[in-house]
Amino acid sequence: MNYFALIPAAGVGARMAAGYPKQYLPLLGKPMLRHTVEAFLRSPLVAHTYVVVSADDGYADDVLPADLDGVTVLRCGGATRMESIRNGLRLLASRIGAEDRVLVHDAARPGLTPELIEKLVAEAGAEPAGGLLALPVVDTVKSKRGGTVTTTPRDGLWLAQTPQMFPSALLRRALEEAPDPDAITDDASAVELLGLSPRLVEGHPRNLKVTLPADIRIAEMYLSMESTQ
């Protein structure tokens, strides 16, 4: 069994509003996507990394040149994150075996480390339903429906991170059969819809998703620190 990384990197970064896709923003002088890919290139567990970009992407060839070993750029991005992943899996059907594990990881989470990849694989590599990094909720959680505000018990609540790792055949089936792919914001939820429970593996705050302008400084702070502890 081999482990492959699949990185959706075809988003436009509307909430970042940088004027170009946020995965190419410099963090400590290096493009975000390059930080993200390097976490997988540094991991001895990962056989190969595939990055999905949009067909008209004008940045990826500079950030991930063709002579960079261990990574392949696929120009098959879709209109949503789910579509980009599904298109990537379709292209890779002959290269990734049914029981091989696919680690889907957002380009926009550059704080991932080889140690976090190793932890995910150690704790969920043998799980038939796969697993994902996630963080237990530590704040008090409020719900607002119309004008009514209530407090939701935080026991058992987790915030999903990536990588999210599944046997490739299971992930393919989950994404192909998802009734409303637009409503699915992570891969695990497609697997949950098949009646399965992916394992939650505690991640780390450094693996934040860079979404808003304020996240850039936080990501740079974590990237300047060596340890995940």
Ligand X SMILES: C[C@](O)(CO)[C@H](O)COP(=O)(O)O
Binding region for ligand CTP (CB under 6 A)? 8-16, 22-23, 52, 77-81, 84, 106-108, 209, 211
User: Are 110 and 32 contacting, i.e. CB atoms less than 8 angstroms apart?
Assistant: yes
Spell out the residues 6+ positions from residue 229 whose beta carbon is closer than 8 angstroms to its own.
none
Residue for token pair 């949503």: 80
Residue 38 in the binding site for ligand X (CB under 6 A): no
Residue 36 in the binding site for ligand X (CB under 6 A): no
User: Are 27 and 103 contacting, i.e. CB atoms less than 8 angstroms apart?
Assistant: no
Residue 81 in the binding site for ligand X (CB under 6 A): yes
Nearer to ligand X, 62 or 182 (CB): 182
CB of 63 to ligand X, least distance (A): 20
In the window 84-123, what residues touch ligand X (CB under 6 A)? 106
Nearest to 43 by CA among 105, 102, 123, 118: 118
Cβ neighbour number for residue 189 with a 10 Å cutoff = 16
Cβ neighbour number for residue 185 with a 10 Å cutoff = 12
Nearer to ligand X, 68 or 223 (CB): 223
Binding partner of residue 12 among ligand CTP, ligand X, none, CB under 5 to 8 Å per kind?
ligand CTP
Binding partner of residue 189 among ligand CTP, ligand X, none, CB under 5 to 8 Å per kind?
none
Rounded distance between C-alpha atoms, residue 171 and residue 173, angstroms? 5
Binding partner of residue 130 among ligand CTP, ligand X, none, CB under 5 to 8 Å per kind?
none
CB of 171 to ligand X, least distance (A): 13
Nearest to 48 by CA among 93, 94, 3: 3
Nearer to ligand CTP, 113 or 164 (CB): 164
User: Are 15 and 113 contacting, i.e. CB atoms less than 8 angstroms apart?
Assistant: no
Q: Point out which residues bind ligand X (CB under 6 A).
A: 81, 106, 160-162, 185-186, 209
